[in-house]
């Protein structure tokens, strides 16, 4: 039986992956801000629920899209661990 050797990921490859993750998150944020919210299009998941609450309660700062989408995802992260 051969032992599998674990290869260390090169720093350049790690940096490339991090840049691509940040780029993907930025593209998603731009799509929500420039396309979904102005046209009142609802997405799925937590983002969709946040958009619906933002449309229904436009003057209540506690239920704004940013706060609800950010804080409602914390339990999902905790249960995912």
How much is the pLDDT for 3?
A: 47
Domain range annotation of the chain:
7-41, 42-81
Q: What are 27-52's pLDDT values in tens digits?
A: 998 998 899 888 988 888 888 888 88
Summarize the confidence of residues 10-19 as an average pLDDT. Answer: 89
Query: Is it the case that residue 8 has pLDDT exceeding 70?
Result: no
* CB contact at 8 A, 58 and 73: no
How much is the pLDDT for 56?
A: 85
Query: Is it the case that residue 20 has pLDDT exceeding 80?
Result: yes
Summarize the confidence of residues 13-38 as an average pLDDT. Answer: 92
| Single pTM value for the model | 0.64
């Amino acid at each position: 039986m051969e032992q599998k050797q674990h290869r260390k990921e090169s720093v350049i490859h790690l940096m490339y992956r991090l840049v691509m993750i940040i780029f993907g998150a930025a593209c998603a944020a731009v799509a929500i801000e420039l396309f979904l919210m102005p046209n009142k299009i609802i997405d799925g998941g937590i983002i969709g629920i946040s958009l619906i609450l933002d449309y229904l309660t436009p003057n209540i700062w506690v239920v704004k899209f940013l706060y609800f989408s950010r804080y409602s995802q914390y339990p999902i992260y905790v249960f995912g661990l």
